[in-house]
Amino acid sequence: MKKEEFDNLPATEKEHFNYCTKCSLYFDLRDAAQVQKHVHGITSDKISNSVVQISEV
């Protein structure tokens, strides 16, 4: 979602979103498909062998 949409969310919803610095969009951490989409350049074998850092907004 774009920043304008994110800004209009209630605070209780915002805590579930993270900002993707690669594509400049916010995504819902509760949705595995969205999380997977925003793990740019990391293949599934690299994910299983490493820790992916997700920062809070």
In the chain, domain spans: 3-48
pLDDT at 26: 95
Contact 35, 42 (CB under 8 A): no
The pLDDT of 48-54, averaged and rounded, is 53
Which are the contacts of 2, defined by CB distance < 8 A and separation ≥ 6? 25, 26
Neighbouring C-beta atoms of residue 18, cutoff 10 Å: 18
pLDDT at 37: 87
* Per-residue pLDDT tens digits for 8-49: 999 999 999 999 988 899 999 999 889 888 887 665 555 555
pLDDT at 55: 58
pLDDT at 38: 85
What is the radius of gyration, based on Cα positions, of the chain? Answer: 12
